[in-house]
Amino acid sequence: MILTIDNVLNGPQLTRVREILSRAHFVDGRVSAGSAAARVKRNEEVAADARELEELNSIVMGNLVRHPTYRAGAFPMYVASPYYARYVPGAAYGDHVDDPIMGGDGVVFRSDVAITVFLNAPDEYDGGALVIRTSFGNQNVKLPAGSAVMYPASSLHHVGEVSRGERLVAVTWVQSAIRDPAKRELLFELNSVREKLLHDSPDTRETALLNRSFVNLVRMWSDV
């Protein structure tokens, strides 16, 4: 499932994030890549020890993890601290699949879901689309500032070369309580109907049955 998450960040929050990034120390993005991905990765990332990360994470991740679409689509059990990436002209990230196990220093997690949060407007740069390869063809993603896209971390994907301007994104990964992406998609769709029924017809037998089925499917399929 490829899922758009609208309005993760509002205008003032984006302005503040951009101000912080303008003075942050960026390093070669290959330092955070596995051996295969490092061969095709050409971007820059905020240094892992940068003092700006605490405020960046408070704004970006604080809003993302509270967003109802994120919670309904990801079933998060663990979410990683994001990388803040910058793509300038000539930068790109070739076809790759995200590492299945991430982390370190005693904390490791399975990367089930990848999320990219777009931090500047698409008209501020040419190229730089996130391209997710699916059985239905390539899905090109270039969203408004403040929006995010969620997709299976197992997907083959790449970021096209930037030819003008600057692309700014935050990228993170989630270990989901629902490991199977097809089951996550079914639960997301069921929950959309469930929430509408709970709002419109909370006392009907049909609502009660659907709610019970959804809850017990989560129980049946969860890794928790």
Please state the rounded mean pLDDT for residues 133-137.
93
User: Model confidence over 55-87: pLDDT tens digits?
Assistant: 999 999 999 999 999 999 999 999 999 999 999
**pTM for the model:** 0.94
Q: Using an 8 Å Cβ cutoff, are 162 and 142 in contact?
A: no
Q: pLDDT confidence of 104, banded at 50, 70, 90?
A: confident
Centroid of chain to Cα 39 = 22
- pLDDT confidence of residue 36: 75
- pLDDT confidence of residue 116: 98
The CATH homologous superfamily for domain 3-176 is q2cbj1_9rhob like domain (2.60.120.620)
Centroid of chain to Cα 174 = 8
Residue 34, pLDDT above cutoff 90: no
Q: pLDDT confidence of 224, banded at 50, 70, 90?
A: confident
Closest CA to 173 of 148, 137, 146: 148
- pLDDT confidence of residue 14: 98
Give the integer Cα–Cα distance in Å for 33 and 36. Answer: 8
- pLDDT confidence of residue 122: 97
Please state the rounded mean pLDDT for residues 153-171.
97
Token pair listed for 55: 């405020």
Q: pLDDT confidence of 125, banded at 50, 70, 90?
A: very high
* Residue extents of the structural domains in the chain: 3-176, 181-221
Token pair listed for 93: 């990230």
